[in-house]
Amino acid sequence: MAIMCFEKAGEKNWEKRAKAARFRAAAERIRDSNATEACSYLREVAEIFDSIGRFESAAECFYDLREYERAGHIYLEKCGNPELVKAVECFTLSGCYEHAARVYAKGNYLSECLSICTKGKCFDLGLKYVEYWKHDAAQCSTLGKRAEEIDKIEGEFLENCAFNYFELNDRGSMMKFVKAFPSIDMKCNFLKSRGCLDELLLLEEELGNFTEAAEIARMEGDILREADITRKAGDFDKASSLVLLYVLSNSMDLGK
């Protein structure tokens, strides 16, 4: 009766809302007995709501239909900032992690954005956002507190990324994130704790810490590498002695 009344009155929007209510009620009645037909009704309800600008209701219907990506786009593009979190939930449920991370980044949710990047293994995207937020914080007059917050969140994210690649035995990708750690101590501690001595040696050498790098080479028994690093440190006498030691040691081995 409501549909007929609105139709006669020329109230098209209200007519469609009444139809949507009818289809929704029908879907509820047969939800358990005929799930396929119930979904058809619900999809029609969603399309009606979308057509008359009741976007949040349309997104809720698509959510109930488990069409999460479409629901997410409606929340994001038609419902605005108040529904950003719902949009992220939808994109996450649909496996669109990069899209979810971008939505959080748009809302300036740093921790949540990097959490999604970790969950979806969107490590390079997360690193890009970290660099952007650090640059943005550096331009801010309230640098201190904001920078500390970013360093903490950044450090946790980067360590998760580096550990992921360590587990995959992809040392090249691991080092890309280790080098982005916010402090030298954090870089060295990560590599030491995981026995990555080759990578630690290269890092110390790049940082100009030749004494530390030479010590690592000594631990690995690489006399020539130790000699080369010692030479770079400017200790030519010790470097020469190490080369002589290497030659003598090899001569004795050949004699045997």
Mind listing the pLDDT tens digit for each residue in 72-128?
999 999 987 778 889 999 999 999 999 999 999 988 888 899 999 999 999 999 999
- Give yes or no for residue 255 having a pLDDT over 60: no
Helices (H) and strands (E) in the chain, counts: 16, 0
Least confident of 39-48, 135-144, 241-250: 135-144
- Give yes or no for residue 143 having a pLDDT over 60: no
pTM above 0.75, yes or no: no
- Give yes or no for residue 236 having a pLDDT over 80: yes
Least confident of 55-64, 183-192, 217-226: 217-226
Residue 178, pLDDT score = 94
d(CA 188, CA 67) in angstroms, rounded, equals 46
User: In 97-205, which ranges are E strands?
Assistant: none
For all residues of the chain together, what is the average pLDDT?
86
Structure tokens at 27: 């879907």
Span 175-192, average pLDDT:
92
Structure tokens at 111: 């921790």
Instruction: Provide the Cα torsion 109, 75, 82, 79; round to 10°.
Output: 140
